[in-house]
């Protein structure tokens, strides 16, 4: 069952699907913090106000465990 797409980072207009796409650019998942850094680099998420940090981390964790 596919996850519904929604905007997580309003400052940079990053959606759940953007996070998922960024994660799947890697062949293997390392750890949550390293994945966050990669997603942040690729999407720009959590570089504005930072209010989405926990939501981004939750999405990454969910995607990594799927």
Q: DSSP secondary structure string, 1-66?
A: -PPPP-EEETTTTEEHHHHHHHHTTSSS---HHHHHHHHHHHH-TTSSS-TTHHHHHHHHHHHHT-
**Tally of structural domains, the chain:** 1
This prediction has a pTM of 0.86
Which CATH number covers residue 11?
1.10.10.1100
Q: Give the pLDDT band (50/70/90) at residue 41.
A: very high
Q: Considering only residues 66 and 36, tell me which one the structure prediction assigns the higher pLDDT.
A: 36
Question: Residue 44 domain-assigned?
Answer: yes
Mean pLDDT within 11-38: 88
Residue 2 above 90 pLDDT? no
Question: Residue 1 domain-assigned?
Answer: no
Distance between CA 10 and CA 40 in Å, rounded? 14
Q: Give the pLDDT band (50/70/90) at residue 25.
A: confident
Distance between CA 12 and CA 26 in Å, rounded? 22
> What is the chain's mean pLDDT, rounded?
90
Question: Residue 55 domain-assigned?
Answer: yes
The whole domain housing 47 covers 7-23+32-64
């Amino acid at each position: 069952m596919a996850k519904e797409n929604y905007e997580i980072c309003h400052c940079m207009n990053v959606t759940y699907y953007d996070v998922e796409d960024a994660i799947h650019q890697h062949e293997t998942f390392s750890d949550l913090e390293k994945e966050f850094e990669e997603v942040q680099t690729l999407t720009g998420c959590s570089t504005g106000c930072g209010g989405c940090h926990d939501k981004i981390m939750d999405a990454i964790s969910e995607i990594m465990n799927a």
